[in-house]
Chains A and B, each alone.
Chain A
Amino acid sequence: MNRTTFLLCLALSAVGLFVAPLLILAAPMEPTMGFVQRIFYYHVPCAWLTFLAVFLCAAGSAAYLFARSERGEALAAAAAELTVVFGICVLVTGPLWARKAWGAWWVWKDVRLMTTLLLWFIFVAYLFVRRFGGPGSARLAAGLALFAAADVPIIYTSVFFWRTQHPKATVVRTLDPKMMPAFFTSLAVFTAFFVALLAARYALERSRQRLDATWLAAEDAGLLDN
C-alpha cells in the first residue's frame, strides 16, 4: 500500500470516528432489546474484521510456507496482531450486549462463543510462538495460522448447526432498512481503519526484515566484528 492510500484510510477513519456514533445514536431503537442493541453496530464490524485478519494471516502464512515469501510472512505477522486486537474487541463487546439481552455475560455451552474464544487463544499462541519460539518459529507459527483459519468456517456456521444462544448470521440481511446507514457506515469506517492499521504494521514488519537482512549481510562481510 502506498502512502496516499494509507493517509486516505486514516482520514476516512478519523471522519468516521465522529460520524459513525452520530448515525448509531440516530438509528431507530430495536423494540426487543432497546438501547443496548446499538453495540451490534460495532460488534459485527469487529467480528468481520477478525475473520478478514485471520484469512489474510492464513494467506500470508501459506505464501511463506510454500513460496518462502518474505512479504507473505510480514502480512501474516501484521494480520495476526490485528486478529488479536479485533478479536478481543469482539469478545468484550459481545458479553456487554449479552448481559442485557440474555442476562448473562457469557454462556459457556454456546458453540459460537467458545469457538471464537478458541480462535483468539490460538492467535495469542501464534504471537507467543513468533516472539519466543527462537529459530524456525516463523514456519511453526505459519502452520499454526493455517490450522487456526479452519476455525473460522466453524464459527460462522455454528449458529446453523448447533442450538446456540447467539443470534443467527442472517441478522444483517433482516435488519430494518432504517438501521442500514448506521451499520454500513460503521462497517466502512472500521474497515478503513483496519486497512490503515494493517499497512502500518506491515511496513513495520518489512522494516524489521530489512534490519535483520542488513545485519546478517554486514556480519557476513565482517563489518561488525569490532
Chain B
Amino acid sequence: MIRKRTLISLLFFGFLLLLSPLVRAESKPADNGEGWEQVNGQMMQPGESIPASTLVGAAYGFIWVMVAGFVYSVWRRTTAVERDLASLRARIAAHEPPQSRAQ
C-alpha cells in the first residue's frame, strides 16, 4: 500500500515538474505600455517548425489515450470489487452462525 501511495505521489510531482518548462515557453508580451497583446492573425508564427497536422493529431490522440486509460482503470477496479464481493459472500455463506457453534 505504501509503495502504491509513493508511486502515485511521485507521478503527481513528476507531472508538476513537467509543467515547469511551460513557464519558460511563455512568450514575452509586446511592450505596448500594459504588457498585454490581444491575439490576432499576425501572431501566427510564419517560421513555426511544428506542423499543424501534428498538433491536431497529438491533441486527438491524447484525448483517446486518456479515455482508454480511464476505461482500463475502471474495468480493472470493477473486476477487483466484484471478485472481493463474491469472495465475501462465499465466506458468509460458508460460515456457521456462532449460536450453532456453541451447541
Chain A 140-174 against B: per-residue CB contact (8 Å), 1 yes, 0 no?
00000000000000000000000101010000000
Q: Do residues B59 and A35 form an inter-chain contact, with CB atoms below 8 A?
A: no
Bound-complex Cα distance A111 to B102 (A): 70
Nearest neighbor of B50 in chain A, beta-carbon distance = A99
Any B CB within 8 A of the CB of A66? no
Looking at the complex, which of A57-65, A68-76, A175-183, A210-218 is the stretch in contact with chain B? Answer: A210-218
- Separation of A220 and B29 alpha carbons in the complex (Å): 65
Residue of B nearest to A204 (CB): B78
* Inter-chain contact B91/A197, CB cutoff 8 Å: no
A7 lies within 8 A of chain B by Cβ: no
CB atoms of A103 and B59 under 8 A apart: no
Instruction: Judge whether A204 and B55 touch: CB under 8 Å.
Output: no
**Is the C-beta of A34 less than 8 angstroms from some C-beta in chain B?**
yes
Contact between chains at B41 and A197 (CB < 8 Å): no
* Residue in chain A with minimal CB distance to B81: A207
Using Cβ atoms and an 8 Å threshold, which residues of chain A touch B95? 223-224, 226
User: Is the beta-carbon distance between A211 and B81 smaller than 8 angstroms?
Assistant: yes
Residue B56 contacts which of A38, A165, A215 (CB distance < 8 angstroms)? A38
Decide yes or no whether A118 CB sits under 8 A from chain B. no
Contact B59 A39 (CB under 8 A): yes
Partner of B88, one of A36, A85, A193, A211: A211
User: How long is the Cα–Cα vector from A99 to B82 in the complex, in angstroms?
Assistant: 45
- Do residues B74 and A102 form an inter-chain contact, with CB atoms below 8 A? no
- Contact present for B78 and A34 (CB under 8 Å): no
Question: Which of A17, A42, A81, A204 has its CB near the most chain B CB atoms (within 10 A)?
Answer: A204
Report the separation of the CA atoms of residues A14 and B72 in the bound assembly, to the nearest whole angstrom: 16
> Is B33 an interface residue when CB atoms closer than 8 A count as contact?
no
Total contacting residues, chain A, CB less than 8 A: 56
Number of A-B contacts (CB under 8 A): 129
Name A46's closest neighbour in chain B (CB-CB): B63
| Contact indicator B81/A93 (Cβ below 8 Å) | no
Decide: B92 and A106 in contact? CB cutoff 8 A: no
| A100 and B48 within 8 A (CB) | yes
Closest to A200 in B: B74
Instruction: Check if A105 is an interface residue, CB within 8 A of chain B.
Output: yes
- From B5, B26, B38, A106 is in contact (CB under 8 Å) with B26
CA distance A124 to B9 in the complex (A): 12
Asked if B39 CB lies within 8 Å of chain A CBs, one says yes
Chain A positions 94 through 135: 1 when the CB is less than 8 Å from some CB of chain B, otherwise 0: 011101111111111100000000000000100000011000
A36 close to B52 (CB less than 8 A)? yes
A24 CA to B29 CA, complexed, in Å: 32
* Given A33-B44, A35-B52, A218-B92: A42 in contact with B36 (beta carbons within 8 A): no
In the complex, chain A residues whose CB is within 8 Å of the CB of B98: 222
Q: Which residues of A contact B (CB under 8 A)?
A: 17, 21, 32-36, 38-39, 42-43, 46, 81-82, 85, 88-89, 92-93, 95-97, 99-109, 124, 131-132, 163, 165, 167, 193, 197, 200-201, 203-204, 207-208, 210-211, 214-215, 218, 222-224, 226
